[in-house]
Amino acid sequence: MNVKMLEHEIGQVDERSDILDGLSQDQKQLSPKYFYDETGSRLFDQICDLPEYYLTRTELGIMREHVEAMTGLMGPRASIIELGSGSSLKTRILLDHVEEPAAYVPVDISRDHLLKTAGCLADDYPEIEILPVCADFTQSFELPEPAVEPDRHVVYFPGSTIGNFSRDDAIDLLKQVRQVVNGNGALLIGVDLIKPRKVVEAAYNDTAGVTAKFNKNILARINRDHAGAFDPSRFEHDAVYDEEHHRIEMRLISCEEQDIPIAGQSIHFEKGEYIVTEHSHKYSIDEFGSIGEEAEFSLKDIWTDPDQLFSVQFLEAI
């Protein structure tokens, strides 16, 4: 089934400037949002199936066990707006249980992956209006108008993607979500919890090397979209846990001194110098509760696994 997609301009000039600015800092960095072209999205789906990567299977277990409580809190005729729609495994659990959904609105930066996922869901859920939006959800974007007027908007933000943001940026993003859902809206969000270093580091340094391919794919994307000349084989993947800030730091380390042309500019790397490509923050329940409160959300309910590795939280707009 064909789906009509609302597209927001994802400006090449702004993206290019952001990339060049990040690589020109004393500590080189790239936003993890640039991971997710079609190849990156496919590799991330593979990561989710790895034995070391506890996040997805743990969150899926929580969703399966508690979905009726979650959809009960959502109520009938909700418009479900998913940020970073991914492969939709967890989404299907929600859609199988939610009462008379007004619409499902997946929002993703990867156009081809979004269209494919939305098309599959439209085929499998013909009774639900599927309204994909191609946009960078860290920026403001317009919501489509469903045929059925929703009783409330519920943003669904699974997978602990909120952990990619600093505390201040996480608050800013949730404030934006608060504006999207309006006065009676809600947020269903996955939040990774603080745990031992060895568990976290293993999840981001898998023995099969899939996370390394995923990390290096960001260089291939810069080559393709922004006239870069990275040789991914001249960089190595690493991920280390920063216990002070309770976050994993994913890096691409230059194996040698080199100069990389990007869009007519040259970026210099010393041997051993690295690009930070992702931070993934882990939270205590109280810490994340304070972030929600600053964004004008109150915690309504929370569900965790028996080992307290991960949480799914339902917050309502204040």
pLDDT digits (tens, 9 = 90+) for 195-252: 999 999 999 999 999 999 999 999 999 999 999 999 999 999 999 999 999 999 999 9
pLDDT digits (tens, 9 = 90+) for 117-174: 899 999 999 999 999 999 888 888 888 999 999 999 999 999 899 999 999 999 999 9
Whole-model pTM?
0.90
Q: Which sign, positive or negative, has the C-alpha torsion 207, 249, 58, 177?
A: negative
pLDDT digits (tens, 9 = 90+) for 255-307: 999 999 999 999 999 999 999 999 999 999 999 999 999 999 999 999 999 99
Q: What angle do CA 63, 65, 66 make, to 5 degrees?
A: 65
Q: If we measure between CA atoms, which residue out of 297, 41, 304 comes closest to residue 161? A: 41
Tell me the C-alpha distance between 29 and 78, whole Å. Answer: 38
Which CA distances in Å does 45 have to 36, 130, 298?
A: 11, 21, 31
Phi/psi-derived region of residue 125, left when phi > 0, alpha when psi is between -120 and 50, beta in every other case: beta
pLDDT digits (tens, 9 = 90+) for 46-73: 999 999 999 999 999 999 999 999 999 9
